[in-house]
Chains A and B, each alone.
Chain A
Amino acid sequence: MDTTQLLKGVLDLAVLAALRDGDGYGYDILRRLRAAGLDEVGDASVYGTLRRLFAGGFLNTYVVPSDEGPHRKYYGLNAAGHAELQRSGKVWQGFASTMDDLLRERETA
């Protein structure tokens, strides 16, 4: 099984979760995801997901000027984003435990 296929389904949740601990700019969030172990996540996927979550009203955004580099666009969870993270997180946990049970049954069978 290809993890990139699985990732597609949970990328939103992954990005929301990466923002739970604090606001971040695109590359920052990408690094958080990679540090958490999601090595396959693509740069463009993270930016595309951020853009879509923003369009969906789950994120707020602001620009932080920087002296040494380019200005950075920060993203952060708003109330709807936190609610979505909680809701989607529960869905995922339910789904994951169902899969776990299914796999365990197969093993014991």
Chain B
Amino acid sequence: MNSTAQDEITDYVERVRAALADLPEATRAELLEDLPEHLAEIRAEDTVTLTDRLGTPEAYAAELRATAAAFVGGFPDPPKRRFEPLLAARADVMRVLGSADVRVGPLLGYPKASDFLQLLRPAWWVLRGYLAAMALAYFVDGQSTQVGLLPRIGNSTLVALVLLAGCIVVSVAIGRRRFELAGWKRLALYGGTTVLVFFAIGGFFSADSDVRDTGYSDVGYSSGGNPYDYIQDVFVYDNQGRPVPGARLFDQDGQPITIGNAYCTDPDTGEVDHTRSMGYPYCPDAAPFASARPEPTATATPDEATPAPTPTSASPSK
């Protein structure tokens, strides 16, 4: 094939392309895909010009457009007809969205809300890359360790940053070339995106509850969280084993420690009363270890302590 023929083909293709300029890029590329090859075939066996053989590029484009567009003939298209209710529902949804698009747009300062959303598209690509990296790290490594904000694999921040950068680059590249994807690749992109969205929603709520729960999970409303949960009262004994009445407890900051239940049950009557003690124990009568009578000068030791339970013995505050 000589260069004049090649020029003629290129020129013809360009004029057909120009005549289809109003079509979406992907559709036009599909329609023009076979054209150079076809023109080369004709040129190889025919000596007349392409226009003599095929008509003007504009006429060719019109014919291409007419036959490729809708189902021209009277033969219904069964695979499409099966989804007709779904397609009708989709058309309804699109209509509602379309009117919402036009109404919400001016509030944002744009003719249509979708004009604004289109500006956010690259931001979505970046976010999608991040989500893909997180999903990848989660499925590779995450079940064993706590998931943070970076896609760590094996607790390595470097790996996380490399993975993050790689996923974002790939996501942006896919975003830029999304019209070139066709068939199963496009379906795979949509499917993957759907999975990522669900993953993101799950991850968001899990992270949200983690952040909120740390506030009181240490205080331990849950059983077993706080080892001092069960404490009702505190009994202080000195090194001689004598109960210390009216003891006060403070933490390292000088804050009084309030613990236990300031109500006592009278063992005889069963009545519940607020304690009259000014410190611990709240209920001196309920001392777990009975001890020697707490005389100021006592030299009693635990060995000499009376084993008999005499609960009324140690109540100086009464």
- Chain A residues close to B by CB (< 8 Å): 8-13, 25-27, 42-45, 47-52, 55-57, 69-73, 80, 84, 87-88, 91, 95
Contacts and interface: CB of A to CB of B under 8 A. Distances in A.
A88 B75 CA distance: 7
A56 B79 contact: yes
B15 interface: no
Contacts of A43: 38, 42, 54, 60
B37 A70 contact: yes
A9 B72 contact: yes
B30 A12 contact: no
Contact of A44 (B30, B54, B72, B80): B54
Contacts, number: 91
A52 B71 contact: yes
Contact of B64 (A8, A44, A84): A44
B72 A26 contact: no
Interface in B4-63: 30-31, 33-38, 40-42, 44, 54, 60-61, 63
B79 A8 contact: no
Contact of B75 (A12, A25, A73): A12
Contact of A27 (B38, B60, B68, B80): B38
B109 interface: no
B78 interface: yes
B30 A51 contact: yes
Nearest to A56: B77
A26 B37 contact: yes
B215 interface: no
A39 to B, nearest CB: 14
Of listed A45, A47, A52, residue having the most chain B CB within 10 A? A47
B12 to A, nearest CB: 11
A9 B73 contact: yes
Contacts of B66: 45, 48
Contacts of A27: 37-38, 41-42
Nearest to B35: A47
Given A26-B38, A70-B37, A72-B37, A45 B54 contact: no
B44 A69 contact: yes
B78 A51 contact: no
B74 interface: yes
A9 B54 CA distance: 21
Contacts of A88: 75
B36 A70 contact: yes
Nearest to B41: A27
Of listed A11, A44, A49, A50, residue having the most chain B CB within 10 A? A44
A-B complex: 3 closest residue pairs judged by Cβ atoms = A48-B67, A48-B68, A44-B63
Given A25-B37, A47-B67, A69-B41, 7 more contacts: A26-B38, A43-B60, A48-B63, A48-B69, A49-B68, A69-B44, A70-B40
A15 B27 CA distance: 21
B293 interface: no
Given A44-B60, A69-B44, A49 B67 contact: yes
